[in-house]
Structure formats: structure tokens, C-alpha cells
Amino acid sequence: MENEVWMRGPIPEIPILLQPVAHALLQVNEDVQKLITDDLEPYIWIKPFSIASIAFHLQHIVGVTDRMFTYSKSKGLIQEQFDYLASEGKFDEKITIQILKQNLEDRILYSIEEIKKIDPLTLMEERFLGRKQIPTTQIGLLFHAAEHAQRHYGQLLVTVKTIRGLLMTGSIH
């Protein structure tokens, strides 16, 4: 079994203070790619016991990461990002497991490339979150992207285990 990402050493070209952000995001991607298997395809929109669906969690990790990285560059969201936010978790028959997993991997790998370009001297600079312009810092936004991704991976794990349990008992088909 391979060590977790953070145990494999520094990611080349990532500033030392941002290694934990990169490690966490890469770990989420690896874990999702293993957890979400093709047999779950018919169940990606199911909300067992009213918990969030597989599709929602995967879309939300992508969306939050995108939004936090946008704010970390002192930019506001564009309409496309608001539209994506509004679509998170809404049934779309064109969305498949492969699309969800590829979108996640693409966003995380893009984030890693973005991190490589960050000047560590800017990490404590003030940034603002959302429409309310809540004050924070660049490192705060980047850390939140990673932490939020990990939180939703944990919730995704519960959703998947719940669906698998319901399949085993014959409660869903």
C-alpha cells in the first residue's frame, strides 16, 4: 500500500508553506478516484436518508476549490462560477461518474499548477470572501479549499458506504 501523499515528501515547485494544501488536495483526488467505482453509476444522484448525493459532493469539491482559488487571487466570481454553484447537486442525466471524477482531477491538478505560481510573501495579504467581503488572507482561502475538500470527501465516504449498505440489504436496487 502506498503512503499517503503528505508522507511521500514535498511536491516539486510548491512553496513550503503551501505543501499541506497541495498534499490535501492531491490526497482527496487519489481517494475519490479509488472510492468512486463504475458500479455506483446508477446511484450518483440518490440522497439516502436525505444526505447529500455522490454527485453533489464531487461537484461541490470542484466548485469550492475553484471559488476559493479565485478569491485567493483577489478576484470576484464570474457568472459561470455562480451558474456552477447553482447547479451543484441538481440532477443532470448527462453527468456520469467518469465526468465527475475527471472534473475533480482536472480542478485539483489545475490548483496545483496555480499554487506553484504563488509568491509565499503574499500569503498573509488580506483577501475577501464572497459577496459579503468577509476579510481573510490568501493562505486562509487556500487552506479552506483543502480543508473543505477533505471534509466533503469524508461526507462522500459516508454516502457511498450508506448506498453500498442499502444495496446489500436490498433496500435499493
Does residue 1 carry a pLDDT above 90?
no
Which residue segment(s) compose the domain that 42 sits in? 16-169
Task: State pLDDT tens for residues 35-88.
Answer: 999 999 999 999 999 999 999 999 999 999 999 999 999 999 999 999 999 999
- pLDDT, position 173: 74
Domain holding 88: CATH number? 1.20.120.450
The HSE-up count of residue 127 (CA atoms within 13 Å, CB side) is 23
Q: Whole-number mean pLDDT of the chain?
A: 97
Q: Looking at the 3D structure of the chain, how many domains does it have?
A: 1
Percent of the chain with pLDDT strictly greater than 70: 100
In a domain, 7, yes or no: no
- pLDDT, position 78: 96
Does residue 32 carry a pLDDT above 90?
yes
CA 44 vs. chain centroid, Å, equals 16
Length of the chain: 173
